């Protein structure tokens, strides 16, 4: 019997490296999700070409064409819903979404943010992490709620901040773990393993180890 896979629609504004990571995961026959479509708010978004090259249908809904946020989000919702998604995946989609749009996809829309939330919501996260002198930085996949960069956290990945880091080197280290974390979170959703319980998300079948994350680490700790 054919297995029914979870249909994802991925929303992008730019480069599309997270789209690419999820696309790669979907190419494995046992991955439980497929990308049904990619929607961008900018025709120049480089990620659109990645999708086209993979034979995935794309739509562009340019935000400049709409008078206000509610009318834009309604057009966006129509474009997204045309692909009949089970899950909407925000991957570098640089738009603030209206509460009505968010409510329409409640419990079935996730986002990746390049910080360990709730630290550094918003933009320039790597620069702000360096300015704050944190030793651990990273990324977060969370369900989307009406408040920007909030919403129940599904998974986080931490990286250490190195003494010689600049924004580019830190961003590259975080991006590498983004590309591991996002396909994993999408897989869990598709497997029906994510359960929202208030502010928290329970993931079925996870063994919590007790390995501490310490940075910088002294040899005597190892």
Question: So which residues are the catalytic ones?
Answer: 113
What's the rounded Cα separation, in Å, for the pair 139 and 117? 8
14 binds ligand GRF (CB under 6 A): yes
Q: In the numeric block, which tokens belong to residue 113?
A: 């943010």
Which residues from 59-88 bind ligand GRF, rule CB under 6 A? none
113 binds ligand GRF per the rule CB under 6 A: yes
Piece of the chain touching ligand GRF by CB under 6 A; list 7-15, 25-33, 98-106, 191-199? 7-15
Residue nearest to ligand GRF (CB): 92
Where in 133-172 is the site for ligand GRF (CB under 6 A)?
139
Nearer CB in complex with ligand GRF: 32/114: 114
Closer to ligand GRF by CB, 9 or 112: give it.
112
Q: Which residues contact 125 (CB under 8 A, 6 or more apart)?
A: 113, 114, 115, 137
d(C-alpha 189, C-alpha 194), whole Å: 6
Q: Of the listed pieces 26-34, 77-85, 108-116, 199-207, which binds ligand GRF according to CB under 6 A?
A: 108-116
Q: Is 6 a binder of ligand GRF (CB under 6 A)?
A: no
Count of positions on this chain that bind ligand GRF (CB under 6 A): 15
Tokens of 222: 């190892």
Of 25, 91, 141, 194, the one binding ligand GRF by CB under 6 A:
91
Residue numbers of the site for ligand GRF (CB under 6 A)? 12, 14-18, 47, 91-92, 112-114, 139, 175, 178
């Amino acid at each position: 019997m054919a297995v029914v896979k979870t249909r994802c629609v991925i929303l992008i504004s730019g480069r599309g490296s997270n789209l690419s990571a999820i696309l790669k995961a979907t190419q494995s026959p046992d991955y439980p999700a497929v990308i049904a479509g990619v929607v961008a708010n900018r025709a120049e978004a480089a990620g659109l070409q990645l999708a086209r090259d993979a034979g995935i249908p794309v739509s562009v809904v340019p935000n400049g064409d709409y008078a206000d946020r509610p009318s834009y989000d309604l057009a966006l919702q129509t474009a997204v819903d045309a692909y009949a998604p089970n899950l909407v995946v925000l991957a570098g989609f640089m738009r603030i979404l209206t509460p009505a749009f968010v409510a329409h996809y409640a419990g079935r829309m996730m986002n990746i943010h390049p910080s360990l939330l709730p630290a550094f919501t918003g933009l320039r996260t790597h620069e702000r992490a360096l300015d704050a002198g944190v030793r651990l930085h990273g990324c977060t996949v969370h369900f989307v709620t009406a408040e920007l960069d909030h919403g129940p956290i599904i998974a986080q990945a931490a990286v250490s901040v190195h003494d010689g880091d600049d924004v580019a080197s830190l961003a590259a280290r975080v991006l590498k773990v983004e590309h591991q974390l996002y396909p994993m979170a999408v897989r869990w959703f598709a497997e029906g393993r994510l359960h929202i319980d208030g502010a928290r998300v329970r993931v079925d079948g996870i063994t919590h180890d007790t390995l501490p994350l310490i940075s910088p680490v002294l040899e005597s700790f190892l």
